[in-house]
Structure 1
Amino acid sequence: MKSTTHQIYTLVRKDLVLELRQQYAFYGVLLYIISTVFVINLMMGKPDDKLWNALFWVIQLFVAVNAIAKSFMQENRGRLLYFYSLVPPRVFIAAKLIYNVILMTLMSLIALVCSFTFLGNPLHNTGYFVGIVLLGGTSLSLLFTVLAAIAAQANHNAALMAVMGFPLMMPMLMLLANVSLSAFVTVYQPGLPRMFLLLGGMDLLTIALTMVLFPFLWKD
């Protein structure tokens, strides 16, 4: 157990060090967030509550695609073969999941700060919305990590990730948008705990399926 934890920590640390050294991917996503929110401000000013919420989650979707997809796209065949000889497949994918959750959490907070700065803050319950953003960022990072892993085994076919991701991403994105609407009103909605359980269940199911399926992908 200690050896497995150390291996996961080492792989996560490796990805973080590479990100700090290269930085072009991080700043590329950062530029996308700032420019997108700024252009929305120039075109629309400060949108109403529902439109603000919809625009934010669309931004989150594209941030997840740009930030998470590269986690496997930057790994060539030789490097994957090297990792194959060092660590078990579940250790490798667990490290990728953890790293992408950390990265997406940071990007989500940056997107939220930029949205508050350029589009205003229409929220009545900011703390609740921040929690939803962090939970939603985690869900999106888990989903796109799995899709990126599958696409990487298909000769890094990014189109495959887009085709598979659309039917899987839409229900999650709609659920996040509906749950987060409660932050814009002061009236309590009794169905929220069930939605949170549903979202948490989807995350656990994604992790479980990843741990079961990735070793078969890893062998190919």
Structure 2
Amino acid sequence: MKKEFKQEWRNRYALNGILLYLVCTIFICYLSFNVRTNQLTPITWNALFWIIMLFASVNAVAKSFMGEKSERQLYYYTIVSPQALIIARVLYNSMLLLLMSFVGFAFYSLILGNPVQDQTLFLINLFLASIGFSSTLTLISAIASKAGSNQTLMAILGFPILLPILLMVIKVSKNAMDGLDWSSSLDELLTLLAINLIVGAVSYLLFPYLWRT
């Protein structure tokens, strides 16, 4: 993780590019929907937010393995265990997506308003979604890197795995916007937590076999 932070600090253009993407996309939504005339409904607000977060997450995590040359990956193979590498990447990407998500949510709320009634539930949902996106996309990035860094393969593999996460987070977000009781979102939150644990366990167990190929 220390190496990841140093590398990100050295190449700050990557983080700056992601933040710029967030700012520009949100501002384009503001111009397109003309919020001053109240044309942006809560349902549209929710859908736009998660579309922006999804594509920003893909852009942020895709470089985990796909942005590295095979020579560097071979060097990592000689000095660290595969378990340590995948855990470090997942934790680092989780921190990166958490930062990006909360900054994006703050700016999104500032520009397009904030119709969320239960802020705590929405933030917990955002936290679990960021962890889920990170663990899923990190493993997919590793698989795609072994197939010649194929972006198309990453999209094909990512969609069926990310779809259940998106369905859960959109529903919980809608409940938070409506101010419903937490009991109505408990099943979805537990499902999100279970998906995160399963994907994390699968990454830990299967990555060593992938790393040796």
TM-score normalised by the chain length of structure 1 = 0.92
| 1:73 alignment counterpart | 66
Structure 2 match to 1:215: 208
**Which residue number in structure 1 is paired with residue 190 of structure 2?**
197
Q: How far apart in 1 are the matches of 2:202 and 2:169?
A: 21
Residue 191 of structure 1: how far off its partner (Å): 3.3
Deviation at 1:201, TM superposition (A): 0.5
Does the 8 A contact of 2:139 with 2:203 survive in 1? yes
Q: Matched residues in 1 for 2:191 and 2:121: separation? A: 17
Mark the runs of 5 or more structure 1 residues left unpaired by the alignment: 1-11
Q: Separation in 2 of the partners of 1:208 and 1:126?
A: 30
Separation in structure 1 between the aligned mates of residue 55 and residue 77 of structure 2, nearest angstrom: 30
Counterparts in 2 of 1:11-90, with a 5 A limit? 12-46=1-35, 47-90=40-83
- Quick one: distance in 2 between partners of 1:193 and 1:169? 20
Cα displacement (A) at 1:57: 0.5
Distance in structure 1 (CA, Å) of the matches to 2:67 and 2:179 = 45
Deviations 1:79-122 (A, max 9, x none): 11111011111111111000000100011011101111110111
Structure 1 residue runs of 4 or more that deviate by more than 4 Å after TM superposition: none
Cα distance in 2, alignment partners of residues 65 and 192 from structure 1? 26
Aligned-partner Cα distance in 1 for 2:98–2:25: 19
Cα-to-partner distance string for 1:120-146 (whole Å, 9 max, x where unaligned): 111111222122111111111111001
- Could you tell me whether the CA contact under 8 Å between 1:45 and 1:119 is conserved in 2? no
Consecutive unaligned residues in structure 2, runs of 5 or more: none
Is the Cα–Cα contact under 8 Å of residues 72 and 152 in structure 1 kept in the other structure?
yes
For 2:62 and 2:181, the matched residues in 1 are separated by 37
Aligned counterpart, 1:9: none
- Coordinate RMSD, CA, aligned: 1.1
Distance (Å, rounded) in 2 between the aligned partners of 1:45 and 1:189: 33
Whichever residue aligns with residue 116 of structure 2, its letter is L
CA distance in 1 between partners of 2:180 and 2:168 (Å): 19
Superimposed CA distance per residue, residues 149-191 of structure 1 (whole angstroms, 9 cap, x where no aligned partner): 1001111111110111111111211111001111111332633
